[in-house]
Structure 1
């Protein structure tokens, strides 16, 4: 049987920059590494919203990416 261990978490903020010359929506993503792997999703979301409030552009999505190590138990 295999066992999964969360070894890394990152926070991603996707925000809206506006439109380009052709009217296409432009987005940018900012990454914050070294997020505690045991942090609750609600806490990650709260931090993302707080960081987003410091940006001049509106945050449209908050992502959390976890990297897991899978080993044989």
Structure 2
């Protein structure tokens, strides 16, 4: 039976940094590596909110990326 081992997690915050000449939003992202593997959605959400409070742009989305090693 195959097994998936979590290698690492990343947290990506996407900010709306304004609008372009056509009125479309401009997005900027910041990625944080080596996120604690056991961190839950609520913990990541609270961390993202705390970080966004220190930024000049409004927070648009919060994304988590997990990388797994699948062995058989």
Unaligned ranges ≥5, structure 2: none
TM-score of the superposed pair, with normalisation by structure 2: 0.93
| Cα distance, 1:21 vs structure 2 | 1.6
Structure 2 counterpart of 1:36: 36
Task: Quote the offset at 1:22 in angstroms.
Answer: 2.1
Say whether residues 1:10 and 2:10 are aligned partners: yes
Mapped to 2, the partners of 1:22 and 1:40 lie a distance apart of 38
TM-score, reference length from structure 1: 0.92
Is 1:21 equivalent to 2:21 in the alignment?
yes
What corresponds to 2:67 in structure 1? 67
Aligned counterparts of 1:6 and 1:44: Cα–Cα separation in 2: 17
Equivalenced residues, count = 72
State the 1:11 CA deviation: 0.5
Aligned partner of 1:53 in structure 2 is: 53
- Counterpart-to-counterpart distance in 2, 1:62 and 1:8: 17
Runs of 4+ aligned residues of structure 1 deviating over 2 Å after TM superposition are: none
The two structures, once aligned, show a CA RMSD in angstroms of 0.8
Secondary structure of 1:34's partner?
Answer: coil
